């Protein structure tokens, strides 16, 4: 099968030019002006941008959490992602405490295999790591799982102590992989929560009020210090606030290999949303919590100047009707997480490019290229280049949509609300190709399934 995309404006993290792109099989075979080739299919991309397929390196599909399971599985979640211009995800497999991480990996392979419509990789959530099992981390890396997430939050669930952090960090530093860190001081936060609940403070807004930004900043500081001593590259997930970003900046200034991810929700929403009536604030209960509004400008500046290097969604949807309700009358029981995998490219394009905060190249970098480079998928993923996978979004920069569960063009996630309900965006993924196959065209799914597991490379290695 061959596809010729004609007259598009090719945007990568570094380039911006008009060209035809010729795809043979699964990869890009030629790029040039007026290519004289015959193709099985010709797509006219006049007036459209060609972006490398979006990469969302932080999703939680089919994840047991908070007494329930995230509402999207690998089938629905990856179809929704494809509709939104994302052609690769890196999801989080979980190790059951006391069991092998490799067993956790098998479980996630079973969840995804044959169901995923787009390509996927896994990080491994490490919930314990005694010395005698450290070699598992090498085996994971051999299996293409070259990053691990550890938690300072959620004591009694996913939390690990500093000794475990150090052990895992050391091994990751030795075996050429990367640590992803959920950095919040969960031990102190749990005390603050206890005090609040004793005072009868149980509404959703107390989720935010019991998680001070300083406790996120402390976690970031501590993770950086441990990573520095252990000599491992560090990636702070879902960084939400100025206080935490200050710690990242300080460390980068002294040459520590740390980068930060933020998520669209921290750029577009603030903690006042928790005041919504009828328990609707629960829709936005996620961790870290939404912050005071002024943090948003600081995060946008972080993206502009490079202190924040990547945008991922932390897509972790729970239905309002029967899952978020678990926490009515006790915010501690609201399953933490919100949907977003389908909306990331559009809301970021709108906020970054249409609203003139970031350049087109930087938009591509933070929605695709940086994740590919950071997580061992470049240059197979994350760019449009000869030899790269033909993961391409034909993007209409003028198309406007109002995001809504009722809008067939903006909502395919299996969750009964949209975090962005009523939000008007400009810029829409019109045709989405994954390894040369048209997945989505004008809002219709043309190809279902066929997503492949990506065996990711170690730090500094290229994936071809
Ligand atoms: O609220 C969130 N973020 N849920 C998913 C788990 C995590 O901490 O990433
Ligand atoms: Zn987290
Ligand atoms: Zn997460």
Give the ligand at the shortest distance from the Cα of 157.
Answer: 1
Ligand 1 nearest-atom number relative to CA 237: 9
The token duo for 296 is: 């948003």
**92 pairs with which residues across the strands?**
123
Backbone φ/ψ region at 352: left (φ over 0), alpha (ψ -120 to 50), beta: alpha
What pLDDT, on a 0 to 100 scale, did the predictor assign at position 118?
A: 98
Ligand 1 pocket member 344 (CB < 6 A): no
Kindly state if the Cβ of 336 falls inside 6 Å of ligand 1.
yes
**Tell me, what's the pLDDT at 112?**
98
Residue 247 and residue 184 in contact, taking contact as beta carbons nearer than 8 Å: no
Residues of the chain scoring pLDDT < 50: none
Q: 263 in ligand 1 pocket by Cβ < 6 Å?
A: no
Render pLDDT for 219-254 as a digit per residue (tens, 0 to 9). Answer: 999 999 999 999 999 999 999 999 999 999 999 999
Distance 24 CA to ligand 1 centre (A): 39
- CA–CA separation, 183 vs 264, rounded Å? 18
Domain 53-374 has CATH 1.10.150.120: no
As a whole number of angstroms, the distance between CA 48 and CA 106 comes to: 41
Whether ligand 1 lies within 6 angstroms of the CB of 337 is answered as: yes
Question: How do strand 392-402 and strand 64-65 relate by DSSP bridges?
Answer: unpaired
The verdict on the CB of residue 314 being under 6 Å from ligand 1 is: yes
- 236 CA to centre of ligand 2 in angstroms: 9
Count CB neighbours of 411 within 10 A. Answer: 23
Residue 165, ligand 1, Cβ within 6 A: no
> Phi, psi (5° rounding) for residue 180?
-105, 135
How far does residue 313's CA lie from ligand 3's centre (Å)?
8
Q: Locate the ligand 1 atom nearest the alpha carbon of residue 336 and give its number.
A: 1
Give residue 287 CA to ligand 1 midpoint distance, Å.
5
Ligand 2 center–CA 182 separation, angstroms: 5
Maximum separation of any 2 CA atoms in the chain, in Å: 73
What local confidence, expressed as pLDDT, does residue 463 receive?
A: 97
Model pTM above 0.85: yes
CA 441-15-47 angle, 5° bins: 40
Query: Alpha carbon 131 to chain centroid distance?
Result: 30
Ligand 3 center to 255 CA (angstroms): 27
Q: What is the pLDDT of residue 94?
A: 98
HEC readout, 361-417 = HHHHHHHHHHHHHHCCCCECCCCCCCCCECCEEEEEEEEEEECCCCCCCCCCCCCCC
Sign for the pseudo-dihedral over CA of 244, 305, 385, 2: positive
Q: With a 6 A CB cut-off, is 91 part of the ligand 1 pocket?
A: no
- Residue 294: the pLDDT is 98
Among 147, 312, 336, the mutation site with the greatest number of ligand 1 atoms within 8 A of its Cβ is 336
- Domain residue ranges of the chain, discontinuous segments joined by +: 53-374
Q: Report whether 97 contacts 128 (CB < 8 A).
A: yes
The single-letter DSSP state of residue 264 is H
E strand or H helix at 222: helix 213-230
From the CA of 314, which ligand is nearest? 3
**Residue in 61, 154, 286, 323 to alter for ligand 1 test, most ligand atoms within 8 A of Cβ:** 286
Whether the CB of 286 sits within 6 Å of ligand 1? yes
Name the burial class of residue 65, with classes exposed (0-12), middle (13-18) and buried (19+) by CB atoms within 10 angstroms of its CB: middle
pLDDT value of residue 398:
98
- Which residue from 335, 332, 331 is spatially nearest to 316, judged by alpha carbons? 335
Question: In this structure, what token pair is assigned to residue 351?
Answer: 């906020």
62 alpha carbon to ligand 1 midpoint, in Å? 13
* Atom 4 of ligand 1, residue of closest alpha carbon: 337
CA distance 221 to 218: 5
- Which two three-digit tokens encode residue 220? 């970031």
3-state secondary structure at position 85: coil
The pLDDT of residue 260: 98
Residue with tokens 């389908």: 342
418 touches 313 (CB < 8 A): no
Cα–Cα nearest to 117, from 447, 395, 393: 447
pLDDT score at 446: 98
**Cβ burial 93-110 (10 Å sphere, 16+ → b, else e):** bbbeeeeebbebbebbee
Q: Is 287 in the pocket of ligand 1 (CB under 6 A)?
A: yes
Asked if residue 318 lies in contact with residue 70, where contact means CB atoms within 8 angstroms, the answer is yes
Tokens for 223, please give them. Answer: 């993770």
Distance from CA of residue 2 to its chain's centroid? 30
What pLDDT is recorded for position 106?
Answer: 98
**E strand segments, 76-184:** 86-94, 119-125, 147-151, 178-182
Please tell me the predicted confidence (pLDDT) of residue 126: 98
CA angle centred on 136, ends 100 and 118, rounded to 5°: 80
């Amino acid at each position: 099968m061959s596809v010729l995309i004609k007259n598009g404006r090719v945007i990568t993290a570094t380039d911006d030019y008009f060209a035809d792109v010729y795809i043979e099989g699964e990869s890009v075979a030629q790029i040039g002006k007026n290519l004289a080739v015959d193709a099985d299919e010709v797509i006219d991309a006049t007036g459209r941008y060609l972006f490398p397929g979006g990469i969302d390196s932080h999703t939680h599909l089919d994840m047991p959490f908070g007494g329930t399971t995230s509402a999207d599985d690998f089938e629905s979640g990856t179809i929704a992602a494809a509709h939104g211009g994302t052609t690769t995800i890196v999801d989080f497999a979980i190790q059951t405490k006391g069991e092998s991480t490799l067993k956790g990996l098998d479980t996630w392979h079973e969840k995804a295999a044959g169901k995923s419509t787009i390509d996927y990789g896994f990080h491994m959530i490490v919930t314990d790591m005694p010395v005698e099992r450290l070699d598992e981390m090498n085996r994971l890396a051999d299996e293409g799982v070259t990053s691990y997430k550890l938690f300072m939050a959620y004591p009694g669930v996913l939390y690990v102590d500093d000794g475990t952090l150090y052990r895992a960090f050391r091994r990751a530093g030795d075996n050429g992989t990367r640590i992803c860190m959920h950095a919040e001081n969960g031990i102190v936060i749990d005390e603050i929560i206890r005090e609040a609940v004793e005072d009868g403070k149980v509404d959703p807004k107390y989720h935010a009020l019991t998680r001070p930004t300083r406790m996120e900043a402390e976690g970031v500081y501590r993770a950086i210090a441990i990573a520095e001593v252990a000599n491992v590259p560090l990636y702070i997930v879902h960084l939400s606030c100025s206080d935490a970003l200050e710690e990242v900046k300080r460390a980068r200034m002294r040459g520590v290999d740390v980068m930060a991810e933020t998520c669209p929700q921290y750029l577009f929403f603030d903690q006042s949303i928790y005041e919504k009536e009828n328990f609707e604030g629960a829709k936005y209960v996620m961790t870290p919590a939404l912050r005071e509004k002024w943090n948003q400008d600081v995060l946008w500046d972080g993206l502009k100047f490079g202190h924040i290097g990547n945008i991922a969604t932390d897509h972790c949807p729970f239905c309002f009707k029967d899952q978020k309700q678990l926490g009515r009358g006790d915010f501690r029981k609201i399953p933490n997480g919100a949907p977003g995998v389908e909306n990331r490219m559009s809301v970021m394009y709108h906020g970054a490019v249409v609203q003139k905060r970031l350049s087109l190249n930087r938009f591509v970098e933070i929605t695709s290229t940086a994740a590919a480079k950071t997580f061992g998928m470049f240059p197979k993923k994350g760019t449009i280049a000869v030899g790269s996978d033909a993961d391409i979004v034909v993007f209409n920069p003028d198309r406007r949509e109002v995001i809504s569960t009722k809008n067939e063009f903006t909502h395919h996630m299996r969750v009964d609300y949209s975090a962005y309900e009523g939000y008007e965006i400009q810029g829409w993924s019109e045709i989405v190709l994954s390894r040369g196959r048209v997945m989505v065209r004008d809002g219709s799914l043309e190809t279902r399934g066929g997503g492949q597991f990506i065996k990711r490379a170690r730090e500094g290695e290229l994936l071809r």
